[in-house]
Structure 1
């Protein structure tokens, strides 16, 4: 058996490695790019505007810089939540969906940092609400995991997808790869995000609409099963029922890990009791509204307020 000898590195060797990660001092464009990033880091929007008024700095607006992993000024502004600087960069034509080494867009980093004002500014300027196709995570998944309802609402308002998109080759498909924002919000116990996703059309059964992916997975878990497994409250199961989940779909295996609670009892009761006519009518009407944000269309209907609220899942079933 071969013996792996430890590598002895001197302080000088370590210094050389770190020096390779630093920008070249003699690179004039690098110096200007660093100046832009430094202005953003200091949240100095007036200085940033002065620099970008000069052609030599404008030329470097999308150039990555910085020690270690270089990033663009827009990426820095989004990550730090420096709104004024972010707006200055956008006004001067910064590339809005530029990727860093992790295939993360500025929008993704703004969502991760919970900088709602920066998220809104980027979306209004045309940022892709779904982030990068090369990143397995997405802004919506991140907001759902963090329970950031306001950010999630803003992303969905600009057309972000609520169901998971396949980002891996077919041969790499597995149960985890088809778990979308609805799964994540349930697992982390974020009821507000859970309901918001359903309101915007999330699939209540698998939170994945890619049939090929589901077909490759031996036993894909339904959202109902996930909610029961992680001990989600009865409110989660009730919402899934209200939004049309197939209560007969999951094969329930009741064992020691299954929580014997109201949620399970509700599901079993729904399996023997048909939906009310009112509930079925709500599902049919919402399915025929072609928009993800259905509230404006519902508000335009010439029906009593109590019925409009019922269609929007605001109040209980009208008497």
Structure 2
């Protein structure tokens, strides 16, 4: 690409000078960047600025004031903008929502404020990444918990055309949290209904992939600890799915030994009962459903996979 071509690309990304809302939006964005809530409120008390609240300004990637506030973690600015009618799921040129940028910045308070105001916990359908995938990759269990509490999707859904499907396309947040070694996120995703086999509920997508990898196989190949394998077993993963070639040269790790043992030993009646009950519970808000069951606390904790009181 020539220097002239590059200059043309950047010129297209810059806001148009003739945009009637550009000056007002720039002033709003500047107030947000300085975290000047008083100035922001004064500006939004004027009709001309309120009309520009969802406009975009800035060089390179023009953004709305709400997107700027979320990215910087300026909570009061987020709240003021929402109070004055800022579009909560507006997209930038990368198809990122304000919530997505708040998650990327690990701004928990802004994430909560946006979710309470009705932000889509799944982000944009036009972005191949999602808030949940980002939180799982970063190991931000508090942000991930809030996203899941507001109904974020834990299993990957296809966002690519049929001809573009590949093994990577079906790897959701459960894969990511395992590969990056975030055990708390891994368990939280399973508690909220993540598929323990492929982390993908789209059978058509799996059928198009020549050799899809199960979560178990990915955990073994990446040297994840025995805790990951035990959680997958406890949450009902099919222990016969990984196509493992085991011979005398295969290193007998604790995780592999646990898996081989599980293949020859049937699950206990308690474990099978827990799996059956959890499958019966509504897919969303399982924790609330368990809490409302007329069962002793020790059994409700067992259904939550919290066995501390059983030890």
TM range (shorter): over 0.9
The answer for the alignment partner of 2:273 in structure 1 is 281
Q: Does the CA contact (< 8 Å) of 1:129 and 1:159 recur in 2? A: yes
- Following superposition, the deviation at residue 68 of structure 1 comes to 1.9
**Residues 121-174 of structure 1: per-residue CA shift (max 9 Å, x gap):** 110111000000000000000000000000000000000000001000011110
- Following superposition, the deviation at residue 303 of structure 1 comes to 2.3
The answer for the alignment partner of 1:45 in structure 2 is 37
- Following superposition, the deviation at residue 22 of structure 1 comes to 4.4
Instruction: Provide the aligned length of Structure 1 versus Structure 2.
Output: 311
The answer for the alignment partner of 1:63 in structure 2 is 55
Q: Is 2:64 the partner of 1:72?
A: yes
Instruction: Give 5+ residue unaligned stretches, structure 1.
Output: 1-5
User: 2-side partners of 1:105 and 1:259: how far apart?
Assistant: 45
Q: Does the CA contact (< 8 Å) of 2:282 and 2:289 recur in 1? A: no
User: 2-side partners of 1:291 and 1:60: how far apart?
Assistant: 40
The root-mean-square deviation of aligned C-alpha atoms, in Å, is 2.2
CA distance change for structure 1 residues 80 and 100 in 2, over 3 Å: closer, same or farther?
same
**Residues 252-308 of structure 1: per-residue CA shift (max 9 Å, x gap):** 124899653110000000000000000000001111111423222222223222111
User: 2-side partners of 1:264 and 1:18: how far apart?
Assistant: 52
Higher Rg of the two aligned structures: 1
- Following superposition, the deviation at residue 243 of structure 1 comes to 0.3
Q: Does the CA contact (< 8 Å) of 1:231 and 1:259 recur in 2? A: no
Deviates further, 302-311 or 157-166: 302-311
Instruction: Give 5+ residue unaligned stretches, structure 2.
Output: none
User: 2-side partners of 1:181 and 1:71: how far apart?
Assistant: 27
Q: Specify the SS of the correspondent of 2:21.
A: helix
Instruction: Determine which of 144, 150, 162 is the counterpart of 1:152.
Output: 144
Q: Does the CA contact (< 8 Å) of 2:21 and 2:52 recur in 1? A: yes
Q: Is 2:260 the partner of 1:268?
A: yes
The answer for the alignment partner of 1:91 in structure 2 is 83
Q: Specify the SS of the correspondent of 2:56.
A: coil
CA distance change for structure 1 residues 315 and 219 in 2, over 3 Å: closer, same or farther?
same
Q: TM-score when scaled to structure 2?
A: 0.94
Instruction: Determine which of 183, 208, 221 is the counterpart of 1:191.
Output: 183
The answer for the alignment partner of 1:308 in structure 2 is 300
User: 2-side partners of 1:149 and 1:64: how far apart?
Assistant: 32
Q: TM-score when scaled to structure 1?
A: 0.92
Question: Structure 2 matches for 1:1-319, cutoff 5 A?
Answer: 22-24=14-16, 27-254=19-246, 260-315=252-307, 318=310
CA distance change for structure 1 residues 18 and 131 in 2, over 3 Å: closer, same or farther?
closer
- Following superposition, the deviation at residue 19 of structure 1 comes to 6.5
CA distance change for structure 1 residues 92 and 244 in 2, over 3 Å: closer, same or farther?
same
Q: Specify the SS of the correspondent of 1:271.
A: helix
User: 2-side partners of 1:35 and 1:133: how far apart?
Assistant: 30
**Residues 11-33 of structure 1: per-residue CA shift (max 9 Å, x gap):** xx998986765445565421111
Deviates further, 219-228 or 63-72: 63-72
